[in-house]
Amino acid sequence: MFEHHDAAGKVDWVLLRVESYLQLTGIYQAIIGNRVVTRPSVGAPFDSGYGVYDVKQDRFIPLDGNTVEEYNGLQKTFDELGEGKLLGDIDGDNSITVIDATMMQRCAAKIADYPEDDEMGAPIGNIRCFSDFNRDGERDILDATAIQRYLI
């Protein structure tokens, strides 16, 4: 699906997406950059969703939060592909903008309601909502402030 090249121009890892038609037993989510990527979890090396083939080590690795740090450019790849849902993108336009910060301010002040799809299907650590941009486990005005700082 996507090849990454090292400084010498050789392929060092490949991002793969596999579809499965099995009845799936659970859902796995990982944060990659600012994106929450969801994939069904059914087996090894991975039966559905995303994984990385490490060319140099000749191994398949299911994609999780720890894997991200090992592969240069993986976060950028997910941004380019537009995969997953961005933390802080509560208007759903696949980008983080001042509009998201403004909507969060309105929700925190109880002038408006958070979107119904703001809550994740399953929490990732203490993160339960996509509007939790600063990843502190709460959705509040501090998330809007974090977005404003991010945008600067």
pLDDT in tens, 40-99: 655 555 556 777 888 888 887 777 656 667 778 888 888 888 778 899 999 999 999 999
pLDDT in tens, 101-113: 999 999 999 999 9
Q: Is there a cis peptide before residue 45, judged by omega within 30 degrees of 0?
A: yes
Reply yes or no on whether the pLDDT at 23 is more than 60.
no
Q: What angle do CA 74, 124, 92 make, to 5 degrees?
A: 70
**pTM of structure:** 0.72
Alpha-carbon distance of 50 to 16, in angstroms, equals 6
Q: Write down all domains in the chain, each with its CATH number in brackets.
A: 2-81 (no CATH), 87-151 (1.10.1330)
Structure tokens at 152: 């600067």
Alpha-carbon distance of 124 to 65, in angstroms, equals 10
Q: What is the percent of the chain where pLDDT is above 90?
A: 38
